[in-house]
Structure 1
Amino acid sequence: MNGKKILFDKPSAMDGMAVHKLIASCPPLDTNSVYCNLLQASHFSETSIMARLEDGELVGFISGYILPNAQNTLFVWQVAVSDQMRGQGLAKKMLTALLERPFCRDVTHIETSITADNQGSWALFRSLTNELGAVLEKSVMFDKEQHFKGQHDTEHLAKIGSIPR
C-alpha cells in the first residue's frame, strides 16, 4: 500500500479532531460536528477503526455501531480514506479487520446507507459482499423528498448478510 506500513487501531477521543479533518477532506461524505466525531471516536471505538501511517498520519477511518435492536448487525456510518490512499483496498481491509475484532464476533450482517451516485461506496460494499460470500440487498432508507425535504439525495440501505462465521 503505497510502500508504507499501515497500522490499524481503535480510535479514542484524542483522535476526534483528526477524524473531523479527514472526513472533511473526503467529499461527498457529510461532515458532522467535531463533537459528533469525538463521540464516534470514543463511544463507538469498539466498532470503529482507524488506519495510520507509521509516522502517525491518519489516512483512514470507519465509524460504525451495533444496532440496538439487532445485536448481530453492524451499521457502518462513514468510511473515509485520504486521497493519497484511495484505490488501494484500504477501506475493505479496515472493514475486514473490524469484523475480526472480538467485539464484533456475533456480527452476521452489515448495514450502511449510500446515495445512488456514490459509486466508490457501492463498489466497496459489493466487493466486501463477494469476499464474505454473502448477499447484498438494496432498498430506500431515507427518501430525498419524504425525509430530507429535497435537501439531500436519497440514502439507500445496503444490507449484507448473512456473513459466514
Structure 2
Amino acid sequence: MAVKPLRSAPGRTVPSAGFVLAEPTLRDGPELWRMARDSAVLDVNSPYSYTLWCRDFAATSIVAREDTPQGRPCGFVTGYLRPDAPATLFVWQVAVDREHRGHGLARRMLDGLAERLVPRGARALEATVTPDNTASTALFTSFARDHGAELTRSPLFGPDVLAGGHEPEVLFRIGPLGRG
C-alpha cells in the first residue's frame, strides 16, 4: 500500500488507511502521555511535558488519529530540529497504541513527518535506540533504505552518563534526505 503524502501546510491532514495524520494539538498531550506510559518501553515524561511538546514542537511532530468522528489519537512521533543543526530532525519518541501495532502505522507517521519537513529544509533524521529495541531498529533501517539514504550508527550515551541503570543509547543518523 502506498503512503499518501501529507500536505505541508500546518494543521492540514490526510487520511491513511483508517487514520488521519496531523500535527498534534494541545488536546493530544494527555493521550501522548498515556501512549508513552502504556508502551512499557519508552521513558515516560510528565503529562505536562507532552502537552508542552504539542504546543512548542507541533510542526516537527505528528499524531495519528483514528478516522472516526472522535478522532482518538492512536500513535505519535515527537521530534524537533536540532538548534545547532537545524537541517537535522531529531526523533524523540515513537509510540503506537497496542491495538494498532503491526500495521505499519509507525512507519506511515515517520514518512508523513519526512514528507512535511524535507520541503522545509530537513536533510537528515537522527534518533537514539537502545541495543535491544528491535522494533525501532527495523523502523529506522527500513526508513533509510526506502528513502535511499545512508544509515550510520554510533554510540552516543553510555551508562556512565545515563542515570538509574538506563541502557546505552546508540545514535542512528539517516541522510541525506530529499535527494529524489
Taking structure 1 as the reference length, the TM-score comes to: 0.92
Deviation at 1:150, TM superposition (A): 5.5
Q: 1:17 aligns with which of 15, 30, 36?
A: 30
1:148 aligns with 2:151: no
State the match for 2:175 in structure 1. Answer: 161
**Pairwise CA distance, 1:27:** 2.1
In structure 1, the residue matched to 2:92 is 77
How far apart, in 1, do the equivalents of 2:104 and 2:55 lie? 25
Contact kept in structure 2, 1:47 and 1:103, CA below 8 Å: no
Contact 1:47 1:104 in 2 (8 A): no
CA displacement 1:64-101 (0-9 Å, x = unmatched): 00000111100000000111111111111111111122
The 5 Å alignment of 1:7-156 reads 7-55=20-68, 56-101=71-116, 105-144=120-159, 146-149=160-163, 151-156=165-170
CA distance in 2, matches of 1:102, 1:162: 13
**Any gaps of 5 or more consecutive residues in structure 1?**
none
Distance 2:33 2:164 in 1: 26
Tell me what 2:8 maps to: none
Aligned partner of 2:54: which letter?
A: A
Q: State, as a whole percentage, how many aligned pairs show the same letter.
A: 40
SS in 1 for 2:39: coil
AA matched with 1:44: F
RMSD after superposition: 1.6
Instruction: Compute the displacement of 1:153 (Å).
Output: 0.3
Aligned with 1:30: secondary structure?
Answer: coil
Code of the aligned partner of 2:23: K
Counterpart CA distance in 2 for 1:150 and 1:139 is 22
Amino acid at match of 1:81: V
| Counterpart check, 1:6 vs 2:24 | no
DSSP 3-state at the match of 1:7: strand
- Once residues 96 and 6 of structure 1 are traced to their aligned partners in structure 2, the CA distance between those partners, rounded to angstroms, is 14
Q: Which amino acid aligns with 2:82?
A: L
Q: Specify every segment of 5 or more residues in structure 2 that has no aligned partner in the other structure, as ranges.
A: 2-16
C-alpha contact (below 8 Å) 2:118/2:178 kept by paired residues? no
Alignment length (residue pairs): 162
For 2:14, the equivalent position in structure 1 comes to none
